[in-house]
Structure 1
Amino acid sequence: MVFQSYAIWPHLDVFHNVAYPLQVNKPRPSKQEIEERVINSLEVVGMEDFMQRSATKLSGGQQQRVALARALVRRPKLLLLDEPLSNLDAKLREQMRIELEDMVSRIALTTLYVTHDQSEALALSDRVAIMSEGDIVQEGSPREVYGKPKNEFVASFLGVANFLIGEVEHIENGYGLIRVDRQDGLMKMPIPNGIKPRDRTLIVIRPEDIGIQTEYSKPSHNVIEGTVERVVFEGAHCECFINVQPHQIRVRLHQADAPIVGEQIWLQVMPDRCIVYPQS
């Protein structure tokens, strides 16, 4: 197990931190075997050149590697990582996430990774389990859980999502026409089984699945008029907050396509990427 705080002993050097689980193990391996297994574990995490370094002289990333090596030295069948990157700064966290993914793939060890960071969960996992109040709400591949969340909780927990409420007016060939509350236009999108005309629904739309138009062209469906309230520059993209009373919709756009605050725009929603639930 790798703890959130790493639990590196400050009075020991790197070698003896990693060797400790073997030294207290019963039966205790031979001195030669302990040395071989410690060196092997340190090589796996790229810390073999730091065996004699004091734990107090390690950076955050190096401490994390030592904690990993200490967990691996016992050759476990399951590795448990309890938010191991939470104490690192953003740049180092991203670097260590990539290294951790490569290491786990290399040693082919089943790993249970506990995190509150959505990007870590999606980037590192083969399977994701979303928990609420002690129960697993949904489990599946990262793409499946993100793209087809089971309910509103999963959609809001894993990534950013917009929620619109409306009423179904018509259903034909698996597609429904939904009139969003306080909006003039209709939304046409896939409707799951069990939803009928006049049912109240909740529509989930991811920010990256919305485009914008600065000039009104009248398509048949899936256009919402709004006003730009806020634009947040985040480097490669911008987060735009659009007022479409009574809702506020978030849109993620390339920074070169960002609208101007106060500008009137029309949102173009991609229907096949939306998810519709019965309103609870």
Structure 2
Amino acid sequence: MTIKIHARLKSRKVMILCSIIIGMLILITLLAPWLAPHDPTLVNLAHKLKPPSWEYPLGTDHLGRCTLSRLLYAARMSLGYATLIFISALTIGLVVGTLSGYKGGWVDQLLMRICDGIMAFPSLLLVLGLVGIFGHGLKQVILALIFVQWVYYARIIRGMVLSLREQTYIAAARISGSSQWTIIRKHIIPNVLPPLAVMGALEMGWAIMDISAMSFLGLGVQPPTPEWGAMIHEGKSYIRSHPELMIYPGLMIMLVVVTFNLFGEALSERYGVKRNS
């Protein structure tokens, strides 16, 4: 009992700390225009690769742009588009997974075979293939990541719905004359929300890493737009002389990913949700 109480207190502290960090990151994305000391895209070769100073708190990059300003604006790109990918993929997965799990029969077979066909390919390989077909750019990367991610949510949600539809309160709702839509809206979806919250926290970190990876490869966010992965790509030519150009955005990616993962783990412990491997 003492161990369980200690674990819950530790989980609560982790959740509070992660919530504070996530809240600060959200504030940064909203207040970036006021927090950034300079225009993040303004090129000034006279200030190329300057060390930290009062004017440039984190120094400048190879084009004389303020590193701090670019980090702050990059947070808007990374967090904003990661949220868009997660919400879009989860919405599609929720619709498909709920329909498949609740209806069953040929509907379930058809939708799951589509999911199996998409999951037969390695996700990164499929994303690269789709971007190669439709062209480079942030829009294409976002659509490709949504296309790849929704199938995982659909299969997980389908499994939860299959379990929920056999519960006695669902049978009671059917007997009372409730429509299928009413049962799904009032009894199915509210019971899958806690696992979805855990999934959201865990997958946000992966979405940010995916966007950064695509931008690092030159397939996502294009210069001069600031984005953490793109900043690492631009700084790799100066890894020996000015490694901070890669270290700063790398640390931001690590902070965000670790924070969301710890937050998701704390949520899973609090709500008793088992993390899917």
* TM class by smaller structure: under 0.3
Q: TM-score, normalised by structure 2?
A: 0.22
Between structures 1 and 2, the one with greater helix share:
2
Query: Which is richer in strand?
Result: 1
TM-score by length of 1: 0.22
Comparing both chains, which one has the higher relative contact order based on Cα–Cα distances under 8 Å and sequence gaps of 6 or more? 2
